[in-house]
Amino acid sequence: MTESNKPAIWFWIVSIIALLWNLMGVNAYIQQAYRTEAVMSQMTPEQIALLDARPAWVTALFAIAVFAGALGCLLLLLKKKLATPVLILSFLAATIQQIWWFTSEGPALMDQFSGTIMPIMIIIFCVFLIWFSKKSASKGWLS
């Protein structure tokens, strides 16, 4: 690798923040999947009913989205071009999951941030990470 292909400091900052974001998603998935007391105690009976009624394929998409997102960010930190297709997989899974969410009773059962703003932010962040990985590859920072 030549010195000109050395990633800028902002590459590392963005990649670390992105990994932390996706690890928070992994944590959220694990908390929901294992129905921890921390999560369940903050939910209303209606929210728990929605969680119980959620199709298995939506739960699977949640897992794929967060684990692929975390893996994609790890691949960014390892400067691998494979980050882009893995982040695209995360985006597709997250988008389909959020389409289900917006067609469910979910947004009406949650506060505006959790019900509407956060799901939209997730998709925007996924799109940003795909763009970021492609831009990083075009600069020669990923191999």
The beta-carbon contacts of 131-135 under 8 Å, at least 24 apart in sequence, are 132/14, 132/18, 132/76, 133/72, 133/76, 133/83, 133/84, 133/87, 134/84
Does the structure show a pLDDT above 80 at 44?
yes
Segments of the chain assigned E as strands: none
What's residue 67's pLDDT? 98
Q: 109 near 47, Cβ under 8 Å?
A: yes
Does the structure show a pLDDT above 60 at 54?
yes
pTM across the whole model: 0.92
Q: What residues does each domain of the chain span?
A: 3-138
Eight-class DSSP state of 126: H
pLDDT level of residue 129 (50, 70, 90 thresholds): very high
Residue indicated by tokens 């960010």: 73
